[in-house]
Structure formats: structure tokens, C-alpha cells
Chains A and B, each alone.
Chain A
Amino acid sequence: MTDAAPATAAEDVHDLRPPRNQWWDVWDQFKTHKGAMGGMFVFISILLFVFAGPWIWQVDPGLIDIRSRNQGSSWAHPMGTDQLGRDLLARMMYGGRISVAVGLAAMLLGLVLGTLIGVLAGYFKLMDGPLMRVTDLFLALPLLPLLLILVTLFRDPLEGAFGQAAGVFTLIVVAIAITSWMQTARIVRGDVLALKEREFVLAARSIGTPARRINTRHILPNVMSPIMVSATLGIASAIITESALSFLGLGFPPDFPTWGRILYDGRDWIEQYPARVVWPGVLISLTVLSVNFIGDGLRDALDPRIRGR
């Protein structure tokens, strides 16, 4: 008699399916968002184009062939050539690498900075006031002018320290990151403030878990959803900012093609060879659009109120 009851309970447990990771639920919801799936498809295609493309299309983007300059599209040059006879398709691939890499790196750095400040401000009461005042201050700064100034001022010292390519890359990534962490910090702080009053945090603290461990094991996993949404938005705005800097002639030097730089160079030839501005522009726009759609889908998928409906 006494043995029977636990046995049936055990059988019931066996009937249940193994616990499902919550990210599978998110993925199920994400799949129903048509725009987000389309965006994902386009974004992955663009990533393949810029990262795997140069293995298939093995043309040096810097190769100057002055005899075949200003050509339209042909089998030898599918997107044509520029005023120095450099192959535009190869330049678009290498330019995309830099643009996407800047976008990803700046987003990651900004995200880390924003999350760190958000968690510190939300969890430690002493730091809340000062850190949030700093955030407000950064939000009141004129960001685009400051970015332009930062890039102009620190270009030469950094190029001297890291070499031309790495110096400009570091400079632009850091400059974009320190002007874009504020929204993440605010959102994370708000969530942490609410989370740290919950019972599971109290339980963790009552068994003597140090603050660092509470944050990394209990609080951070619970603020992942807003962080992921701001990550997608961060990639989009970082790519736009980098191209805007290049477009104003203050980004990468001309021998490093980025999409913004190619657009900037092509603008002088717009009347004769419009393809030269259309290709980079379309790629920048498609990347940003696809990332924004992914962000939209992610926001819906991570919202438990919508999920499962």
C-alpha cells in the first residue's frame, strides 16, 4: 500500500516529456513572425556574401587596372569597376566585412558597457545615483558632433599606436560604443531593480552567495531578453553610424573600402555611373532593415504575454 503511491507518481513523472529549454519556446514564437524570418534569411545571406564570398570570388579588391576603369556590369566584373578599375564586387565583399565587423564589435562593446553600468546601478544602491546622472548626461550630449570630434582628435595617436587599419577600427568601434550604451544601461537597471526584490534573489543571498555570483547566475540570465533586443538595435545603429562617418569622409581611409566609403567615393560619379552608389546603399539598407526586422520578431518572441498565442 505504502509502496504503491510513490510508484504511480514516478510513472507520472516518466510520462512527462523532458523539460524543454525556454529558448525553444522563444524560437517557436520567432518562427511565426514572417518579417523576422525574412530578415534572418536576408541577414544570413549578407553574412555569407561578405565572409564566404571572397573565397569564391577571388579578386583582389585593391587591384588597380586602369585600362578597364568605369566599366558597367559584365561577366568579368558583375558590379562593374570604379574610376581606378578596381572590381566593385570584390570591394563590396571586403567593405561589407569591415562594416559588419564594426557593427558587431561596437554593439558587443556597447552592450557590455551598458549591461555593466545597468547592473551596477540597479544592484548597488550607492552607485545608482551617480551612474544614472552620468547616463542622463551622456543622453544630453550631441552625439554625432562628438563622434566626429572624437574620430578627428584621436585618429593620429591611435594610428601611431596600432597601425593604420587596426587603429581606425579600434577608434571607430570604441567611439560608437561609448556613445550608444545609455539605452541598454537604463533598461537593464530598471529590470535589475525589479528582479533583486524577488524571492529567488533573497534565497540566494540567505545562503551566503556573494553579490558577484548573484548577479552572474541569477540576475543576468533574467535580463537576457531586453539585452538581446537592444543588441539587434545596436548592430543596426552601429552600421548606420559607421557608414555615416565614412560618408562624411571621417571614417576609414580610402584604401579600406567600407560600404559607407564606397558610397562616398561613388557620389562624385553619380551622374555617369549611378550603380556605384546604388550597390553599397542597397546593401547598407538591406542589412539594417533585416536586423531591425529580426529585432522586431525577437521582441515579440521574448514577450511572454504574446508567446503561445
Chain B
Amino acid sequence: MFTYTLRRLAFAVPTVLVISLIVFLMLDMAPGDPTGSLPLTIPLEVREQIRAALGLGDPVLIRYFKWLHMMVIIEPSHMLANATGWNIAVDGPRILSWQTRSPVGDIIVQRIPQTLWVVGLGYVFGILIAVPIGVISAYKQYSWFDQAGTFVSMVGFSVPTFFTGVVFILIFSVWLGWFPSMYDTTHRVRDWDSFLFQVRQIAMPVAVLALFNASQISRFMRASMLDNLNQDYVRTARAKGMMEKTVLLVHVLRNSMIPVVTVIAIGIPTVFTGAIITEQIFRVNGLGDALIRAIYVSDWPMVQTITFIFAILIVLFNLIADVLYGILDPRIRYD
């Protein structure tokens, strides 16, 4: 198991490096210039000095390694120092956002909690809905429940989230007036009433994401259960005279969860990037919203950082999925 994990890790590190190079080079070619917005009254030689101070004259590779150093050492150390209060921040130049002139890391730390709450709850609820639906659909294959469930999940992942979101706003906030259509991030939970308001404002984005995730996961769950239900060990368990409940929920469910757990792990980063759209609909100012705004105003350092974070999340969760699969299913470890 240890060598298996090491082998996976050995693939992950070069992948991250290559992705970081791609992200850096792509935005390095971007038009726009950090000195472009400075007043025209600044003389040319001063402008050149400013450019040199920003390191814009260096060769591409040197700028890449400087950027990588800032990205993987300096910024995370500052984020950790801010979060924990320890004095571990590494000195050095930080990545500055061109729109706010403040370090990118600080803005990202402010944005992460909203995204985590909305996306995380959406994913958790999605899983909680999907697993029972998948189990029942597979156990009663071709019943009316299965037919309805398959159809709903097909609709659920065919209808894009930006339309479900808009329909939810239309029904629940315009016509019924139950939930606010915009997410108020300045809202603080202090007492029962403010907690209720928080629940109401988070309900719609979470519901949109949960619906979409549930429809995808329930299809996997159903297929995986169907694969296992015809296996010999299920007949053995029944022949031993076990209760149907034990056979289904202990024997079949546990084995069926193996591929589903890895699918869930691989899906987490996709949910982050997919939530960009949900955040735009409900005006949640999370990470995705920061990315879109940065793209609108060509704030390339911000765009680079957030894209790189998404890339790291993808590689990390692929790694987690591989290792999880190795733990859950010893057959694939090949050791």
C-alpha cells in the first residue's frame, strides 16, 4: 500500500508542475500590462524602472520560477499564518492583485468560506439524496420508482445549473417570496433569527447544486448496485438465510460503495469549478465569483492563482481517489 501511494504521488508532482507552467505561460502571453493603468505623466524611464522592479524584463523561465516560489511557498505560508496565528510567514514579495493592489492570498482567504459552505453543503446533500435513490432503484429494477428515478436523474444532469438556478429564483423568490434571490455575504449568524435567515439564503444555491450532484451520483450508485446484485456472494448470503436487509445494506451496499466513493472524491474539484456558475446566479462572492470578476478586468495574477488552486484540487482529489480505491479494494494495489 505504501509503494502504491508513493507511485501515485510520483505521478502527481510532475503533473502539478506542468500544469503550473501551462497556467503561467498562457497568462504570460496575455495582453495588458501592470503599468498600463499608471498615469501618462510618468516619464518613460521611470516607467521602465517600475517595470524592472516588477521583474517584467527577466527571461520567461526565471519569472516562472520566481512566480512558482511565490505561489507555493510565500502565499500559502501567509495564508496559514493568518489562519492559525503562528509566526511562520515567509518573507518575500507577494503576488499582488492588479485590481485591488493587495496580496492575492488575502482575498482568496476571504472568499473560501462562502464557496466551501455553498459547494460543500450542495455536495453533501447531493450524496445523501443520491445513495438511497440509487439503492432502491437498483433493488427494484424496472419498477415505477426506478423508472421515475432514472428519468429525474436524466433531467437533473441535462438541465444546466444556470437554468435550474434561474427557475428556482423565479418560483421561490419572485412568485412565492420564500427565499432571497441574492446571497448576502455580510450577514453574520448571531441568534436564532439570523441563523434562520442564513438557512433561507443558502437554501437555493445548495438545492441547485444538490440536485445536479444527486442526479449524477445516483446513476453511478444504481449501476454499481446492479453489478453487485447478481454476484455469487449475494446468493451465498441469501442461502445462508440472512435477512434481506442485511444482504442488501451490509453485503451489497458496502461493495457497491467502492467505485462510488472514488467517483465522489474525483467529483469534488469539478464541483468547485462548476460552482462558478451557481455563484454567479445567486451572487455568492466565493472563489468562482472572484475568478470571473478578475477575468472581466484582466487581473491576471488573481486568475493565475485561482486557476492554479483549482488545478491542485483536481490533482489532489485524483490522488485521494486512487489511494482510497487502493484501501477499499486490495485487488488493484498490484503489490
Partners in one complex: yes
Whether, in the assembled complex, A5 has its beta carbon less than 8 Å from a beta carbon of chain B, the answer is no
Q: A141-B314, A236-B158 are in contact. Are A149 and B166 (CB under 8 A)?
A: no
Whether, in the assembled complex, A117 has its beta carbon less than 8 Å from a beta carbon of chain B, the answer is no
**B residues 157-196 touching A (CB-CB < 8 Å):** 157-160, 162-163, 166-167, 169-170, 174
Whether, in the assembled complex, A148 has its beta carbon less than 8 Å from a beta carbon of chain B, the answer is yes
* Contact status B166-A281, CB under 8 Å: yes
* Contact status B280-A145, CB under 8 Å: no
Whether, in the assembled complex, A81 has its beta carbon less than 8 Å from a beta carbon of chain B, the answer is no
Could you say which residues of chain A place their CB within 8 Å of the CB of B154?
Answer: 35, 289, 292-293, 296
* Contact status A247-B273, CB under 8 Å: no
Which of A140, A236, A282, A289 makes the CB contact (< 8 A) with B19? A140
A35, A244, A278 interface centre (most CB from chain B within 10 Å): A244
Could you say which residues of chain B place their CB within 8 Å of the CB of A152?
Answer: 295, 298
Whether, in the assembled complex, A270 has its beta carbon less than 8 Å from a beta carbon of chain B, the answer is yes
* Contact status B160-A142, CB under 8 Å: no
| Closest residue of A by beta carbon distance from B277 | A244
Whether, in the assembled complex, A255 has its beta carbon less than 8 Å from a beta carbon of chain B, the answer is no
* Contact status A148-B295, CB under 8 Å: yes
| Number of residue pairs spanning A and B whose beta carbons lie under 8 angstroms apart | 112
Q: How far is the CA of A70 from the CA of B243 in the complex (A)?
A: 64
Whether, in the assembled complex, A238 has its beta carbon less than 8 Å from a beta carbon of chain B, the answer is no
* Contact status A146-B307, CB under 8 Å: yes
| Shortest distance between the CB of A302 and any CB in chain B (Å) | 17
The binding surface of chain B is classed by DSSP as helix
**B residues 276-330 touching A (CB-CB < 8 Å):** 276-277, 280, 291-292, 295-296, 298, 303, 306-307, 310-311, 313-315, 318
| Shortest distance between the CB of A270 and any CB in chain B (Å) | 6
Cβ proximity bits B252-278 to A, threshold 8 Å, 1 near / 0 not:
000000000000000001000110110
| Closest residue of A by beta carbon distance from B303 | A149
* Contact status B314-A140, CB under 8 Å: yes
Q: A277-B170, A281-B167 are in contact. Are A248 and B160 (CB under 8 A)?
A: no
* Contact status A149-B160, CB under 8 Å: no
* Contact status A240-B160, CB under 8 Å: yes
Q: How far is the CA of A247 from the CA of B276 in the complex (A)?
A: 11
Which of A142, A236, A270, A293 makes the CB contact (< 8 A) with B166? A270
Whether, in the assembled complex, B73 has its beta carbon less than 8 Å from a beta carbon of chain A, the answer is no
Q: Which of B25-33, B35-43, B63-71, B220-228 contacts A (4 or more CB under 8 A)?
A: B25-33
* Contact status B15-A149, CB under 8 Å: no
Q: How far is the CA of A263 from the CA of B164 in the complex (A)?
A: 12
Which of B26, B274, B280, B296 makes the CB contact (< 8 A) with A153? B26
Whether, in the assembled complex, B155 has its beta carbon less than 8 Å from a beta carbon of chain A, the answer is yes
| Shortest distance between the CB of A296 and any CB in chain B (Å) | 8
Whether, in the assembled complex, A60 has its beta carbon less than 8 Å from a beta carbon of chain B, the answer is no
| Closest residue of A by beta carbon distance from B159 | A285
Whether, in the assembled complex, B83 has its beta carbon less than 8 Å from a beta carbon of chain A, the answer is no
Q: How far is the CA of A274 from the CA of B15 in the complex (A)?
A: 46
Whether, in the assembled complex, B242 has its beta carbon less than 8 Å from a beta carbon of chain A, the answer is no
| Closest residue of A by beta carbon distance from B273 | A144
Which of A141, A240, A247 makes the CB contact (< 8 A) with B22? A141
Q: How far is the CA of A284 from the CA of B155 in the complex (A)?
A: 12
Cβ proximity bits A239-278 to B, threshold 8 Å, 1 near / 0 not:
0100110011110000000001001000100110010011
Whether, in the assembled complex, A137 has its beta carbon less than 8 Å from a beta carbon of chain B, the answer is yes
Whether, in the assembled complex, B18 has its beta carbon less than 8 Å from a beta carbon of chain A, the answer is yes
| Shortest distance between the CB of A141 and any CB in chain B (Å) | 6
* Contact status B274-A144, CB under 8 Å: yes
Could you say which residues of chain B place their CB within 8 Å of the CB of A243?
Answer: 160, 162
Whether, in the assembled complex, A173 has its beta carbon less than 8 Å from a beta carbon of chain B, the answer is no
Could you say which residues of chain A place their CB within 8 Å of the CB of B11?
Answer: 136
Could you say which residues of chain B place their CB within 8 Å of the CB of A296?
Answer: 154
Which of B151, B158, B162, B295 makes the CB contact (< 8 A) with A288? B158
13 contacts between A and B (CB under 8 A): A137-B18, A140-B15, A140-B318, A145-B310, A146-B307, A156-B31, A247-B277, A248-B276, A249-B296, A270-B169, A281-B167, A285-B155, A292-B154
* Interface pairs A-B: 5 shortest CB-CB: A142-B310, A281-B163, A289-B158, A285-B159, A288-B158
Known: A142-B313, A285-B158. 11 other contacts (CB 8 A): A140-B19, A140-B315, A144-B276, A145-B303, A148-B292, A149-B303, A248-B292, A260-B162, A270-B169, A277-B170, A289-B155
Q: Which residues of A contact B (CB under 8 A)?
A: 35, 136-137, 140-146, 148-150, 152-153, 156, 236, 240, 243-244, 247-250, 260, 263, 267, 270-271, 274, 277-278, 281-282, 284-285, 288-289, 292-293, 296
